[in-house]
Amino acid sequence: MRSRFTAYAIKQYDYVRDTYSEEKRQGITSENLESSASGAHWFALKVHTSTHSKPSSDTVEFTAYYFENKHLFQLHETSRFIIEGGLWRYHDGTLHDDCGKIKYGRNLPCLCGNNKKFKQCCATKVR
Protein backbone atom coordinates (compact mmCIF):
# COMPACT_ATOMS: atom_id res chain seq x y z
CA MET A 1 0.00 0.00 0.00
CA ARG A 2 2.70 2.45 1.01
CA SER A 3 4.72 1.77 -2.12
CA ARG A 4 1.70 2.45 -4.35
CA PHE A 5 1.03 5.74 -2.53
CA THR A 6 4.68 6.74 -2.92
CA ALA A 7 4.56 5.87 -6.62
CA TYR A 8 1.54 8.16 -7.07
CA ALA A 9 3.29 10.90 -5.08
CA ILE A 10 6.44 10.76 -7.24
CA LYS A 11 4.49 10.07 -10.44
CA GLN A 12 5.88 6.60 -11.15
CA TYR A 13 2.81 5.35 -13.01
CA ASP A 14 4.55 2.34 -14.55
CA TYR A 15 5.08 1.02 -11.03
CA VAL A 16 1.45 1.69 -10.09
CA ARG A 17 0.29 -0.22 -13.16
CA ASP A 18 2.65 -3.11 -12.41
CA THR A 19 1.25 -3.47 -8.88
CA TYR A 20 -2.30 -4.20 -10.08
CA SER A 21 -3.39 -7.84 -10.15
CA GLU A 22 -3.10 -9.45 -13.56
CA GLU A 23 -6.87 -9.48 -13.99
CA LYS A 24 -7.24 -5.76 -13.18
CA ARG A 25 -4.12 -4.69 -15.09
CA GLN A 26 -5.80 -5.48 -18.41
CA GLY A 27 -6.72 -2.25 -20.14
CA ILE A 28 -4.85 -0.02 -17.67
CA THR A 29 -2.00 2.01 -19.10
CA SER A 30 0.52 4.25 -17.39
CA GLU A 31 -0.83 7.08 -19.52
CA ASN A 32 -4.39 6.49 -18.21
CA LEU A 33 -3.11 6.53 -14.64
CA GLU A 34 -1.12 9.70 -15.25
CA SER A 35 -4.11 11.40 -16.85
CA SER A 36 -6.45 10.47 -13.99
CA ALA A 37 -3.95 11.72 -11.40
CA SER A 38 -2.93 14.90 -13.21
CA GLY A 39 -3.23 17.93 -10.99
CA ALA A 40 -3.16 15.89 -7.79
CA HIS A 41 -0.29 16.41 -5.36
CA TRP A 42 -0.30 13.45 -2.94
CA PHE A 43 1.36 14.27 0.37
CA ALA A 44 0.12 12.13 3.29
CA LEU A 45 -1.01 8.57 3.94
CA LYS A 46 -2.63 7.10 7.04
CA VAL A 47 -3.09 3.34 7.21
CA HIS A 48 -5.96 2.58 9.57
CA THR A 49 -6.20 -1.21 9.56
CA SER A 50 -4.78 -4.21 7.82
CA THR A 51 -6.62 -7.51 7.89
CA HIS A 52 -5.20 -10.82 6.80
CA SER A 53 -8.43 -12.53 5.71
CA LYS A 54 -7.03 -15.49 3.79
CA PRO A 55 -3.53 -16.83 3.20
CA SER A 56 -3.62 -15.31 -0.29
CA SER A 57 -5.48 -12.01 0.33
CA ASP A 58 -5.31 -9.01 2.61
CA THR A 59 -7.33 -5.83 3.07
CA VAL A 60 -5.97 -2.43 4.01
CA GLU A 61 -8.07 0.55 5.08
CA PHE A 62 -6.31 3.84 4.47
CA THR A 63 -6.80 7.55 3.90
CA ALA A 64 -4.58 9.37 1.41
CA TYR A 65 -4.49 13.15 1.29
CA TYR A 66 -3.81 15.31 -1.74
CA PHE A 67 -4.10 18.84 -3.04
CA GLU A 68 -5.76 19.64 -6.33
CA ASN A 69 -6.42 23.19 -7.58
CA LYS A 70 -5.38 24.57 -4.16
CA HIS A 71 -8.03 22.49 -2.37
CA LEU A 72 -7.51 19.63 0.09
CA PHE A 73 -9.00 16.21 -0.71
CA GLN A 74 -8.97 12.79 0.85
CA LEU A 75 -9.29 9.33 -0.61
CA HIS A 76 -10.58 6.86 2.01
CA GLU A 77 -10.60 3.29 0.75
CA THR A 78 -10.51 -0.30 1.89
CA SER A 79 -8.28 -2.07 -0.63
CA ARG A 80 -7.99 -5.76 -1.33
CA PHE A 81 -4.62 -7.21 -2.21
CA ILE A 82 -3.91 -10.72 -3.50
CA ILE A 83 -0.73 -12.70 -3.93
CA GLU A 84 0.36 -13.41 -7.52
CA GLY A 85 3.72 -14.97 -8.27
CA GLY A 86 4.78 -14.47 -4.66
CA LEU A 87 4.06 -10.71 -4.77
CA TRP A 88 1.21 -8.70 -3.27
CA ARG A 89 -0.90 -7.02 -5.96
CA TYR A 90 -3.74 -4.50 -5.67
CA HIS A 91 -6.95 -6.18 -6.84
CA ASP A 92 -9.82 -3.83 -5.97
CA GLY A 93 -11.14 -1.51 -3.33
CA THR A 94 -14.21 0.04 -1.81
CA LEU A 95 -14.37 3.81 -1.44
CA HIS A 96 -15.83 5.21 1.78
CA ASP A 97 -18.48 7.92 1.83
CA ASP A 98 -16.11 10.60 3.15
CA CYS A 99 -13.96 10.78 -0.02
CA GLY A 100 -13.60 14.15 -1.65
CA LYS A 101 -12.90 17.74 -0.74
CA ILE A 102 -12.38 18.37 2.97
CA LYS A 103 -11.79 21.29 5.32
CA TYR A 104 -8.91 20.97 7.75
CA GLY A 105 -7.94 23.52 10.38
CA ARG A 106 -4.73 25.40 9.69
CA ASN A 107 -3.68 25.14 13.35
CA LEU A 108 -4.22 21.38 13.60
CA PRO A 109 -1.24 18.99 13.45
CA CYS A 110 -0.14 18.38 9.88
CA LEU A 111 -1.65 15.34 8.20
CA CYS A 112 1.80 14.13 7.10
CA GLY A 113 2.70 13.26 10.70
CA ASN A 114 5.28 16.00 11.11
CA ASN A 115 4.93 17.71 14.48
CA LYS A 116 4.28 21.09 12.87
CA LYS A 117 0.96 22.83 12.43
CA PHE A 118 -0.68 22.19 9.07
CA LYS A 119 -0.30 25.86 8.06
CA GLN A 120 3.47 25.66 8.66
CA CYS A 121 3.99 22.35 6.90
CA CYS A 122 2.11 20.80 3.97
CA ALA A 123 -0.38 23.67 3.56
CA THR A 124 2.53 25.75 2.28
CA LYS A 125 2.67 23.51 -0.79
CA VAL A 126 -0.51 25.02 -2.24
CA ARG A 127 0.24 28.69 -1.86
What are the residues facing 88 on neighbouring strands? 83
> Residues 69-113: pLDDT tens digits?
999 999 999 999 999 999 999 999 999 999 999 999 999 999 998
Helix segments in 1-127, DSSP class H = 2-9, 13-18, 22-25, 30-37
Enter the pTM of the model: 0.89
> Residues 16-52: pLDDT tens digits?
999 999 999 998 999 999 999 989 999 999 999 888 7
Q: Angle CA(19)–CA(33)–CA(98) in degrees, nearest 5?
A: 90
Within a 10 A sphere around the Cβ of 23, how many other Cβ atoms? 11
